[in-house]
Structure 1
Amino acid sequence: MKLKRTFRLPPDVIDQLAEFASRKRVGQPDIVEAALRSFMSPDNSEQLEAALSRRLDRIDRHIDALDQQAEITTEALALFVRFWLTANPPLPDSALAAAQAQGKERYEGFVEALARRLEGRSRLGDLLK
């Protein structure tokens, strides 16, 4: 048994309801009933909260993985710099200009190799996963 109720709605909502009912080939009262049931359902907010919680958990795991990769990268760089500074003695003044020129050339080669590596598919970070 269904009871009859009268509601006042803005003209634009009435138009949207009529257009939606026509498009879905469903009666307007059925749409209003389904909308009211959905709006008053306590499960709706719980489902939304659960979905949001799952998304936040996934984002949190992704951020943790990024943090770990950044820490590994930082430690590797620090270890390399320490080793390099320990293993390479300072140069005499007579060889300084030649060493700087060679260092500049090597650095430019490094930047080019890095650019090629970043353009490619394989990355060292992929190996660490």
Structure 2
Amino acid sequence: MEKVRHQLFLPKPLSDRLETLAARPGASKSAILVDAVTAWLNRRGASELEDRFAIRLDRLTQAIGRVDRDAYVILETLALFIRFELAIQTPLAENDQAGRALGAKRFEAFVTQVGRQVSTGRRTLAAMPGESE
């Protein structure tokens, strides 16, 4: 590997520490400085990568938060629908207009309840016996 000679000036205390390290067996000033400069440049490069990708990672984090919120709304809707369907809803005859009107009213109540549950942050599944978050 080709090497290039550099002349540099160090403060006396730092130069003394370098001399002490280089006095150990198998160590040299050049090797110590190569390691130090390499480590410094690698850290600097990592910082540049972090700066470059930080904005994108923040956007991805926000997108994942929105997906999590949407999944919560969907789960709440499904849980309430199942509760309404199994506990309240009765089968309708085909020509039962009064029953269908009642069904439309119940659907409106269902949608209102989903909105209320989501806005309060309560989870229907966690509120059911034997369930926990």
TM score, norm. by length of structure 2: 0.40
**Structure of higher RCO (CA pairs closer than 8 Å, 6+ residues apart):** 2
TM score, norm. by length of structure 1: 0.40
Query: Which structure: greater helix fraction?
Result: 1
